[in-house]
Amino acid sequence: MKSKLGIIMCVTVLLTAVCDAGPSTLSVTTIKQEPYTMPKGTELEGYCMDLLSELSKKLSFKYNVHLVKDGNYGRQDERGNWNGMIGEVLRGEADLAVAPLTLTATREKVVEMSKPFMQTGISFIIHKDMGSNDPDLFNFLCPFSTETWVGILVAYLVTGVCIYIVSRLSPCEWSEPQTEENSFSLMHSLWYTAGAIALQGAGPHPKALSGRVIVAIWWFFVVVLLASYFANLSSAQQSDKPQVSLATFEDLANQDMVEYGTLSVSSTLTFFKNSNNLLYRRIYENMERKKSFVSSFDEGTRRAQKGNYAFIGESVSLDLAASRYCNLDRSREVIGMRGYSIVGPIGSSIMKNVSVAILQLSEAGELDYLRNKWWSSSCMQEGSAASSGHPHRLKGAFVVLGLGLGLGVMLALLELISSSRKSAKEQKKNCCSVLSAELSQRLGTSGAQKTQETTDKSKP
């Protein structure tokens, strides 16, 4: 067996030597995993593809990429044979493996591994309902998303200001700007609008049609808003939360309600298998007993999203899943620090240069740039966000409110125009000049000054 392996290695070294003699096209194996390598049409894209292209520029080589045939990273079986990408490099089917391949002692013995291009550790993702259930002080805000709360605040302020403006413009509301004070000051308008949120009438109601239109539309908006708030709040509270809170590996090991597992062929599994730590051994034995492994990273993420399953894997990859799917939480505990390396056959001269290039890319900040490029993402799943209302769910109510406010202001202007026309006729003046005088009196400071003067004069 050993001699066979020796022959394979010699052939690989010879081939590599031949390849190293001049500019060559390297055959690169990789594995499909977000965001490292993902299909895009007929091409592949992702962090590893960008890294490979940077390396090829630095080391001046051409390459052909293929996905590993058996879909595995690389594990040695009982007979000493390697599968996955490590196996392909060992058998000479690939010159390089560029993927999230963990640097381990057993692999380092049979292949050449570069300096790590990314650091990670082991952690787990779990459905948010089962993660650390820290009681949230501001749970009452959860029915709406931040955008919706901001939208409501803006709607409230705009409506308050509209009621204020309309009450000043409308002659039916404020008939004598010279002598009487407007009952709808800005403070009163805002207070009145706030009162409606609690279904309370705060102070005098508007008398003019324009003001009443705005108020009626605001009441309608508030009713829709409250109905949606209470529906979301009660559905969030009724979500059948299991009575477990799993924040650490110890929590996982000490319970039997939630299954947990790793990828069936992975360095994470090997870590638990070979660990001397009693806790980690218990975790491994439980996984073996229940055969709770998954065959791919996607399957692990899917099972975790369904609930009742904790997917144990490498934190850097789990971070992406947790940021993509808002209903997933990544445990804060990270164990077994390790790194991802590029793999080549033993004796390959290019590997030394690959390590140097990786260090150069790291020192130049290129690796950080790639990390930010491929890890920046926002939640894609509506699952948990469903309970915190998205602005578009209330979009209709916001639109109706906007139209109502516009209509109210328009009606107020019409009321003012018709009353200006009437008084222009009576005073035999130009309608426009009467209107502009009215406008400056009602919206400008002159109205207030006159009111003040009148009040002063009437004082004994």
Extract the annotated binding site for L-glutamate.
100, 102, 107, 267-268, 314
Distance CA 331, CA 326 (A): 14
Q: 427-442 burial, b for 16+ CB within 10 Å, e for fewer?
A: eeeeeeebbeebbebb
* Residue 355 touches ligand GLU, criterion: CB under 6 A: no
Does residue 88 belong to the site contacting ligand GLU (CB under 6 A)? Answer: no
Residue 260 engages ligand GLU in binding (rule: CB under 6 A): no
Other CB atoms within 10 Å distance of the CB of residue 290: 12
267 touches ligand GLU by CB under 6 A:
yes
Q: Find the binding residues for ligand GLU in span 99-118 (CB under 6 A).
A: 100-102
Stretch that binds ligand GLU, among 18-26, 260-268, 319-327, 443-451 (CB under 6 A): 260-268
Number of residues that bind ligand GLU (CB under 6 A): 11
Does the protein bind ligand GLU through residue 83 (CB under 6 A)?
no
Applying CB under 6 A, the span of 96-104, 250-258, 400-408, 418-426 interacting with ligand GLU comes to 96-104
Would you put residue 378 in left (φ > 0), alpha (ψ -120 to 50) or beta?
beta
DSSP assignment string, 249-310: HHHHHT-SSSEEE-BSSSHHHHHHHH---HHHHHHHHHHHHHT--BSSHHHHHHHHHHSSEE
Residues in the chain: 460
Does 311 bind ligand GLU (CB under 6 A)? Our answer is no
Tell which one of 268, 348, 388, 451 touches ligand GLU (CB under 6 A). 268
The least CB distance from residue 103 to ligand GLU, in Å, is 9
CB of 120 vs ligand GLU, minimal distance in Å: 8
Query: Is cis: bond before 460, omega within 30 of 0?
Result: no
- Please report how close the Cβ of residue 314 comes to ligand GLU at its closest, in angstroms: 5
Q: Between the CA of residue 224 and those of 230, 238, 428, 439, what are the distances in Å?
A: 10, 21, 49, 35
Six token digits for residue 370:
């790639």
Alpha helices in 21-123 (DSSP H): 47-59, 84-90, 105-110
CB 31 → ligand GLU: shortest distance, Å?
Answer: 9
Binding region for ligand GLU (CB under 6 A) out of 135-143, 237-245, 264-272, 363-371: 264-272
Query: Which residue of 314, 329, 415, 438 would you call a contact of ligand GLU, by CB under 6 A?
Result: 314
What sign has the CA pseudo-torsion 448, 453, 454, 459? positive
What residues contact 184, with CB distance under 8 A and at least 6 apart?
A: 163, 164, 167, 168, 173, 174, 192, 206, 211
Q: Which is nearer to ligand GLU, 46 or 313 (CB)?
A: 313
Q: Answer whether 145's CB lies under 8 Å from 378's CB.
A: no
Strand partners, 330: 125
Asked whether 52 and 28 are in contact (CB, 8 A), the reply is yes
Closest CA to 338 of 119, 190, 164: 119
Shortest Å, Cβ 240 to ligand GLU: 30
Smallest distance from the beta carbon of 78 to ligand GLU, in angstroms? 18
263 touches ligand GLU by CB under 6 A = yes
Residue 415 contacts ligand GLU per CB under 6 A: no
Name the packing angle between helices 209-238 and 186-197 (round to 10°): 40
Which residue is closest to ligand GLU by CB? 266
The interface region with ligand GLU, picked from 98-106, 154-162, 238-246, 405-413 by CB under 6 A, is 98-106
**Residue 266 interacts with ligand GLU (CB under 6 A): yes or no:** yes
Annotated binding-site residue numbers:
100, 102, 107, 267-268, 314
Contact set with ligand GLU (CB under 6 A) = 73, 100-102, 262-263, 266-268, 313-314
